Amino acid sequence: MTKHPDEQRLELLQGTLDMLILRTLQWGPQHGHGIGQAIRARSDELLKVETGSLYPALHRLVKRGWLKPEWGVSEANQRAKYYRLTTAGKAQLSREQDRWSQLVDAIGRIMNPAPASKE
Amino acid sequence: MRPDQHDLDEEIRGHLALSLKERIERGEDPTSARLAALKEFGNVTLTRDSMRGVWRHRWLDAAEALARDIRFALRALLHAKGLAATVVVTLALGIGANAAIFSVVRGVLLRPLVNRDEDRLIYIRQSAPGLGAENTTFSVPELNDLKSRVTTISAFGDFSTVDFAMVGLGGEPRMVKAGVVGGSFFDVMGLRPVLGRLLNEHDDGPKAAGAAGPSASVRALPPWSASSSHRYPIRPTPRSSQTW
């Protein structure tokens, strides 16, 4: 994997971190480190989640009832907190996914107007 | 549900351990790998605080801040005792003076009239602009007409003024400005006497006890003596020199 210089790294869009976490946990329970790594790997290293944002976000999602934490043992043979998507979390994910596609669609129409719209 | 300090530390330690393991597996030197993992994590204390902040109640935070502010203010005041005393005395004098002035204003200007139902009390007057007569008196037949025919007013209290010479207050006769009222006047006005009785319906008419002259009269006390009126003995009614 090629390393991206910092200039090429993208800033996380405000309000998308929760959605990315929920989406990542769709594959199964994961600990904070794993979630961060997964987001980085799946974005081809373009997105890097700062731990200073990631962990507070995880706790916020637990508080809202979208994630359920449980202690387990990690690959490093140490206790780690795993986060599991709850039923309410799944519902929230689908809501956010819908909103996200609408947003992308709407912004796309403004930035790249279709030529047909001239009629 | 709410994680404690130990929980948060444990979670962060778990993260660092994983990060470290990953680096060592990649072939980094353990010492530099440890430093790199810490560097990548960033400010541990800050992160732990914001994790805890998610669980904190907002009003509890506000209460804590308020208590801190009050403690700080008290400590600061203790360091400047002279200033604090001056400020307290200044405030006390200011508040005291304001309270005193307001009591006077309230008592003199704002206190409602002592009349009963002052919002239902009206003053009837008649004028004849053509004759240049302002606020002229009503004649007795006019009063009787009003009393017998006006239905929107429940009671009339008629009054007039008269000047007469009075003797008997020891010394020379003097002119007295007196009010002449009908028997219902004091009842309509809702006034109560401090001493004795007020005039009533029985004092009206030619058959009244003092029909030949005003044997019954009411003396008004200056308002400021209302509470100490027992110091003003009412003398026997003076005889008027005027015959009615």
Contact B14 A75 (CB under 8 A): no
**Rounded to two decimals, what is the model's pTM?**
0.50
Cα–Cα distance, B176 to B159 (Å, whole number): 16
* CA–CA separation, B216 and B234 (whole Å): 12
Chain B contacts of A78, Cβ < 8 Å? 13-14, 17-18
Q: Tens digit of pLDDT for each residue in B177-218?
A: 888 788 888 888 877 777 777 777 777 766 554 433 445 666
Q: In sequence order, what are the beta bridge partners of A80?
A: A72
Mutate to test the interface with B, among A59, A63, A71 (most CBs of B within 10 A): A59
The band of B231, judged by pLDDT with boundaries at 50, 70 and 90, is: very low
pLDDT value of position A20: 94
How far is Cα A22 from Cα A38, in angstroms, rounded to an integer? 12
Please indicate whether residue A48 or residue A9 has the higher confidence score (pLDDT): A48
Summarize the confidence of residues A35-48 as an average pLDDT: 91
pLDDT at A47 over 80: yes
Please check the confidence at residue B141 and state whether its pLDDT lies above 80. Answer: yes
Lowest mean pLDDT among B111-125, B206-220, B226-240: B226-240
Per cent of chain B over pLDDT 90 is 18
DSSP letter at A79? E
How large is the average pLDDT for residues B15-32?
90
Contacts of A81 in chain B (CB under 8 A): 7, 10-11, 14
Nearest to B236 by CA among B136, B187, B166: B166
Using CB atoms within 10 A of its CB, is residue B134 exposed (0-12), middle (13-18) or buried (19+)?
exposed
**B43 contact residues in A (CB cutoff 8 A):** 52
Hey, is the C-beta of B14 within 8 angstroms of any chain A C-beta?
Answer: yes
Q: Residue A74: which residues within 8 A CB-CB, separation 6 or more?
A: A31, A33, A80, B14, B17, B18
CB-closest option in B18, B43, B53 to A80 = B18
The answer to whether B216 and B203 are in contact (CB under 8 A) is yes
Q: How far apart are CA B174 and CA B241, in angstroms?
A: 11
Q: If pLDDT is split at 50, 70 and 90, which confidence band does B58 have?
A: confident
Residue B109: pLDDT over 60: yes
Q: Greater confidence, B113 or A68? A: A68
Residue A77: pLDDT band with limits 50, 70, 90: confident
| Residues contacting B24, CB < 8 A, separation 6+ | B30, B33
Q: Is the pLDDT of residue B228 over 70?
A: no
B146-162 tens-digit pLDDT: 888 888 888 888 888 88
Give the domain ranges of chain A: 6-109
Map residue A69 onto helix, strand or coil. strand
Which residue do the tokens 């907190």 mark? A81
For residue A65, what pLDDT band results from cuts at 50, 70 and 90?
very high
**How many Å lie between the alpha carbon of B72 and the closest alpha carbon of chain A?**
31
pLDDT tops 70 at residue B240:
no
Taking CA–CA distances from A72, the nearest residue in chain B reads: B14
Three-state DSSP class for B147? Answer: helix
Task: Indicate the range of A67-71, B3-7, B196-200, B218-222 predicted with least confidence.
Answer: B218-222
Q: What is the pLDDT of residue A5?
A: 54
Q: What is the mean pLDDT of chain B?
A: 79
Answer yes or no: is the ipTM higher than 0.90.
Answer: no
Residue pair A31/A80 in contact (Cβ under 8 Å)? The answer is yes
Q: Which CATH class is domain A6-109?
A: mainly alpha
**Helix (H, G, I), strand (E, B), or coil: what is residue B187?**
helix
Report chain A residues whose CB lies below 8 A from the CB of B10.
79, 81
